[in-house]
Amino acid sequence: MHVVKKASPSVSLKDSGFKGNSPSIQNLLREARVAACGGDRPILVTGAVGSGKSHLARFVHGQSARSRSPLIFVDCGALPDLDNTLFGHRAGSFTGAVRDLGGRLHQANGGILVLDDFDRLNLHHQDQLHRVLVDGGYYPLGSDRETRVNVRFIATTNKDPQREIEAGRLKEDFVSRLNYFELHVPPLHRRPEDIPLLCEELLRRNLEDLASKGIRDQDQSLVFHEDCWPALQARTFDDNVRGLDKLIVRLIAHVGEREEITPADIEEVYPAVRNSGAYWFDQPRPLRMVRDAAERRYIMEICRFTNFNMRRSARILGISPKSLYAKLRLYGIERP
């Protein structure tokens, strides 16, 4: 059995769950450390769905002078009563309000408040939060007395803020208050060299989670075969690191009691070429990935044409049988 080679020392976002060796992630970390030292100034974090924006916010919190103070997240698109969630209320302000309740702003006092998907805030809430950004004051529901807080804001979005401003969904002055520092998390397909490290980390975390719940034996090991990396790097994940995590969850269930994940497992759980007969051109991606997908598909077609006669297939392809076997391993193609 081939055990995964030890990865080179990585640049990681400490315990935030975000890791990477790629130059783009190293640059991002440098920028994030600078932003973390920016006192109380807000930070705008952009990036595709599942790319790790919330994890980056955790890293900034850990690197900042507020690391010992609260880190509070607000999902701006999932809460029906955002006024109450953000600002809290006073007893008697509405039916059922039997006592004072501090909102997320109160909870984050002295620390950092993360506005996840801030582009989903309506214009009214943007105005209210704009005032907090300007002078730190707000009014809880049912109160005529101003409450003041010392909160640093981090706003995240998978949209282009400028386009949202042009469409009238975001206010320009509100966004202007949020982007003293702007950090962009690159999508996974632009840093495929990070995939092995991310896979090992996500595998470890998922195995620990299953063991803690008694679903899997804590002593039962599971590793990736080293030939898995090209097969994984040749794929695309629509929701980035989150999509990679979904694949690993499925792979753990797929392999069962075995101790190694192979390229064949990856191909069975997530085929590189879909059954539709089309390539996986569902979104723009690097040319190398397109070439890999096309080569894999053609090799599969030739092998099926020769009924997996390796010598004949190699002769048609114009390569040696040894090279053909290497490509089968590379692309996770199993002989019948």
Ranges of the chain whose pLDDT falls below 50: 1-14, 92, 98, 274-283
Which range of residues forms the domain containing residue 238? 191-270
**Pair 197, 104 in one domain:** no
Identify the domain boundary among 158, 187, 216: 187
Q: Answer yes or no: do 152 and 61 share one domain.
A: yes
Phi-psi group of 277: left, alpha or beta (phi > 0 → left; psi -120 to 50 → alpha; rest → beta): left
Gap between the Cα atoms of 23 and 4, Å rounded: 22
Judgement on whether residues 323 and 215 belong to the same structural domain of the protein: no
Q: Residues 220-270: pLDDT tens digits?
A: 899 999 888 888 888 888 899 999 999 999 999 999 989 999 988 898 898
pLDDT, position 11: 37
Say yes or no: 260 and 334 in one domain.
Answer: no
Answer whether residue 6 is part of any domain: no
- Residue 3 within a domain: no
Distance between CA atoms of residues 88 and 9, nearest Å: 45
d(Cα 18, Cα 4) in Å, to the nearest integer? 20
Mark whether 248 and 284 lie in a shared domain: no
Query: What is the number of alpha carbons within 13 Å of residue 13 lying toward its C-beta?
Result: 27
CB-count burial class (<10 Å; 0-12, 13-18, 19+) for 130: middle
* CATH number of residue 67's parent domain: 3.40.50.300
Same-domain check for residues 164 and 264: no
CA–CA dist 177, 133 (Å, integer): 7
Measuring CA to CA, which residue among 34, 87, 81 is closest to residue 59?
Answer: 34
**85 and 129 Cβ atoms separated by less than 8 Å:** no
Q: Are residues 204 and 326 in the same domain?
A: no
Domain count, the chain: 3
Q: What is the pTM of this model?
A: 0.73
- What CATH number is associated with residue 232? 1.10.8
DSSP letters for 64-95 = STTTTS-EEEEETTT-S-HHHHHH-B-TTSST
Residue 9 lies in a domain: no
Would you put residue 108 in left (φ > 0), alpha (ψ -120 to 50) or beta? alpha
Q: How many whole angstroms separate alpha carbon 192 and alpha carbon 59?
A: 22
User: Of 270, 293, 326, which residue is a domain's last?
Assistant: 270
**Structural tokens at position 132:** 């907090």
Q: What's the pLDDT at 17?
A: 57
Residue 201, pLDDT score: 92
Asked if the structure places residue 157 within a domain, the reply is yes
Strand 260-261 relative to strand 223-224, pairing: parallel
Model pLDDT for residues 9-46, shown as the tens digit of each residue: 333 444 555 678 899 999 999 999 999 999 999 999 99
Looking only at the bridges linking them, the beta strands covering 43-47 and 152-157 are: parallel
What's the CATH code of the domain at 314? 1.10.10.60
Q: Is residue 15 part of a domain?
A: no
Domain boundary among 167, 187, 207: 187
